[in-house]
Amino acid sequence: MDDIFAELLAAQMEETQHKLAERNVVDLLVHLINSGKVEVIYTKSGKEYLTHDQLKKEIEEEIVAHGGRLGIIELGPIIQVDMSYIQQKVSAVVNSASNLTLLGGEIISSYYLDGLTEEINQELQDAGRIAIVSLAQKFGLPADFLRTAMEERQGTLLKGKLQGNDLYTDSFVDRHKHRVRGILYGLTTPTPLHSVVQIHQLLDTLVFTQAKELMSEGVLPGTMTGSDSRAIYSPDIFSSSQHEAVQSFYTQNQYIEYNSLKKLEISNPKLFLKQKFPDGMDCKTLWLSNSAIDGLHDELEEAIATNTFLYATSLLPAPLTDEAVSMVLSKCMEKFKNTAKQMGSTLAVSNSYIDNAREKIELVVRKQAEEDAKKIQEEGGGAAQVDNKDDDWEDDGGKKGKKGKKTRQKS
């Protein structure tokens, strides 16, 4: 089509005795259009025609003329053709160009975003920090789209860092990191990071990442549990104090209660003690040292050797319940099942002591039985003597009766 127009134009410009009149050209063009040999797009005025290639060219020129950002609806009054043709051709233009994006009815070019980034960078250097949301509102672009554009140009056109939904200069980030280091270094107890942010007016988008960086660099002695706003920083000085306090009490007393560890902010006392003192024993409410168990074991061995008994309660830490004492005693008794017996929760008795006690009891019982039998026998003989006396009494009574009879006779 362009070739035809070029030829027509050349023919018109050529100096010749016979030239086509404008009317002839129009008639010729109408004939070509009606025959389907030429496809054109009518302008709204109806006085002009556009080919599809010309429409594409004009759209591309308008994009450049508007600095790389142009609303599709703005092309209608400029090109003066129906919007349906413009929309179709815009899609074709965007699809064929890698540096163009169709976003919410607007054509956005990469060189527009480059210029926008330079403008944002200048503003960032002055402010030190800018929120993506505020930039999105200012430039009328979606926040996610703008964030992606800044992320692609970070380190080149954008001299700063993108963290979360905020832009920062390198100097701003460094100053903030030094503040984080100083504040966290001064802590002596586990502290939630959100509290640090609120008290010292730090940026929550930077604190967690910078704290992790400082710990990995070895300049911040501590540990972090949780993540982001739920993270808790625990300084090593607190952990070492915990361990020293636990170690000291455990060594001196041979046990430590779980409640005391909770007061030291140890969330899982049983697991903590199991890892720190693996040879100890869980006794319901406390962790008992192996030395206390060995001590009871030695006392039990001596009791068996000396044919006696022991009360485990008096040999173990006072906080142990009878149930816990029974558990410990049962563990120690495993080696002495054939030489001693556990009686109740706290008493252990050697078999020899039980045998001796049985013999003594048998002697006492036998002696008592003999004494009782003798007594019964003696009491039985005494009853026979009484009966004889009764007999004598009856004889005497008879004699007395005779005397009475004689008495009566005398009278």
Residues found in the chain:
411
Phi, psi values for residue 383, rounded to 5°: -70, -35
DSSP 15: -
Tokens of 205: 């988008």
**So what's the pLDDT on residue 16?**
58
- Which residues partner with 168 through β-bridges? 129, 161
For the sheet with 255-257, list strands across it.
255-257, 286-288, 281-282
**Using one digit for the tens of pLDDT, what is the confidence trace for 81-121?**
888 889 999 999 999 999 999 998 999 999 999 999 999 99
- Which residues partner with 43 through β-bridges? 81
- Which residues partner with 192 through β-bridges? 232
Dist. CA 179–CA 197, nearest whole Å: 11
Dist. CA 364–CA 381, nearest whole Å: 26
| Under 8 Å between Cβ of 328 and 283 | yes
Dist. CA 347–CA 329, nearest whole Å: 8
Outline where 201-321 has alpha helix (H).
204-217, 236-253, 258-263, 269-276, 290-305
Residue-wise pLDDT tens for the chain (411 aa)?
566 666 666 766 666 555 656 666 566 666 666 666 667 777 777 677 788 888 999 999 999 999 999 999 999 899 888 888 899 999 999 999 999 999 989 999 999 999 999 999 999 999 999 999 999 999 999 999 999 999 999 989 999 989 888 999 989 999 999 999 999 999 988 899 999 999 999 988 889 989 999 999 999 999 888 887 789 998 988 888 888 889 999 999 999 999 988 888 787 899 989 999 999 999 989 999 999 999 999 999 999 899 899 999 989 998 998 899 999 999 988 888 888 898 988 899 998 888 888 888 989 898 888 888 888 888 875 444 444 444 444 444 444 444 443 333 333
**Using one digit for the tens of pLDDT, what is the confidence trace for 328-349?**
999 988 888 888 898 988 899 9
Which residues, in sequence order, are CB contacts of 305 under 8 Å at separation 6+?
none
Dist. CA 161–CA 172, nearest whole Å: 10
Of 137, 144, 184, 136, the residue nearest 164 (C-alpha): 144
DSSP 104: T
| Under 8 Å between Cβ of 157 and 121 | yes
Domain boundaries, the chain: 2-107, 189-253, 255-353
- Which residues partner with 343 through β-bridges? 347
For the sheet with 232-235, list strands across it.
191-192, 232-235, 222-225
Dist. CA 288–CA 316, nearest whole Å: 9
| Under 8 Å between Cβ of 310 and 299 | yes
Element (H, E) at 161: strand 161-163
Torsion over CA: 378, 382, 387, 388 (sign): positive
Number of H helices, E strands in the chain: 17, 17
| Under 8 Å between Cβ of 178 and 140 | no
